[in-house]
Amino acid sequence: MTMLLRLALVLLLTASAVATAAEPRKQVASVTARLADPRPLVIAHRGCWRQPAENSLAAIAACAALDVDIVEIDLRQTKDGVIVLLHDDTLERTTSLSGPLRVKNHAELKSARLRRGQGGSDAVFTDQHLPSFEEVLALPGKIFFFLDIKEPIHEPVAQLLDRHRAWDRVLFSMNKEFGPDLMRARFVGRAAVMPKLSENLGGKCARDLDPGSDLIAYAGLRAPIYEVVFCNDRFFDLARTQVRDARLWVNALGPVFDGGRDEKTALANPDAVWGELLTRGASALQTDHPQELIAYLRKTGRW
């Protein structure tokens, strides 16, 4: 039985079990349509990585079974031009191989097995391999993806979206670090885009920064959603005031992203973190705990 067929069976069986606990939501047709829906969005960081490894096919299938809105995946390119799912620029933390990805041909990665969870030298190896983006696009079901593109490889990514007719399934990040040409990339106008408004510059908090200048630069995109990275709530509040007719996405992953909050606290007291962010104006939360966040949103009547 092929890996994709096994994953399809796992997805169907898990989805059936989840459906007995809560009525599944109606599937929307595209990322753009989901962004137009006022309900909060749940974004799973690197997939549902506890089942069993980050950026794995099984982790994506687990997210689909949970009814997660969007699965965040990391994209990089091999030496011979194959797009694969990998967060780091080296292989050792998350796979059974080592060294930089960019010096490896895709055929050399066939033997790689992903380490459990978020990896590390003590993490055991799973039966999951290092997936290509093409394999991900071939998974069954209408799964939506946030593409965290780690290198300036947007054009080969666009070619795969063309081949799989998958433009309606993805959200692109507009990160200024890739330069002004990104504003004219081929995906602009074809896929949903999310510009980033950040108070964290070069790893340091830029106090008294105003997101207004970036908003002017991004105005022509007519983006349906903006990511806000903030050191203190003042910056987020300014963004909330200045952004009109668009949603705000917050990484609820840790203090450097969301004004000092952390998900360890969120698990013990979700009102103090997830609830407070939503009340403040966030309407999309990226999380390492999608199952718990979904349960909280259901409990509070938000989802």
Q: What are phi and psi of 100, to 5 degrees?
A: -70, 140
Q: What per-residue confidence (pLDDT) applies to 2?
A: 58
Query: Does any domain span residue 102?
Result: no
pTM: 0.90
Is 163 a member of any domain? yes
Q: Read off the pLDDT of each residue in 144-160 and give the average, rounded to a whole number.
A: 95
What is the rounded average pLDDT of the residues 234-256? 96
9 occurs within a structural domain: yes
- Position with higher pLDDT, 5 vs 124: 124
Residue 135 lies in a domain: no
What CATH number is associated with residue 197? 3.20.20.190
User: What percentage of the chain carries pLDDT values higher than 70?
Assistant: 91
Could you report the per-residue pLDDT of 271-291, keeping only the tens digit for each? 999 999 999 999 999 999 999
- 164 catalytic? Reply is no
Mean pLDDT of the chain: 91
**123 in a structural domain:** no
> Which amino acid makes up residue 175?
N
Q: Which of 5-19, 100-114, 145-159, 200-214 has the lowest mean pLDDT?
A: 5-19
Look at residue 24 and tell me if it is in a domain.
Answer: yes
> What range does the domain containing 285 cover?
3-51+60-87+143-299
What is the count of structural domains for the chain? 1
Q: 41-66, pLDDT tens digit by residue?
A: 999 999 999 999 999 999 999 999 99
| 106 assigned to active site | no
Establish if 128 belongs to a structural domain: no
How does pLDDT run across 179-202, given as a tens digit for each residue? Answer: 777 888 889 989 999 999 999 888
Residue 285 in any domain: the answer is yes
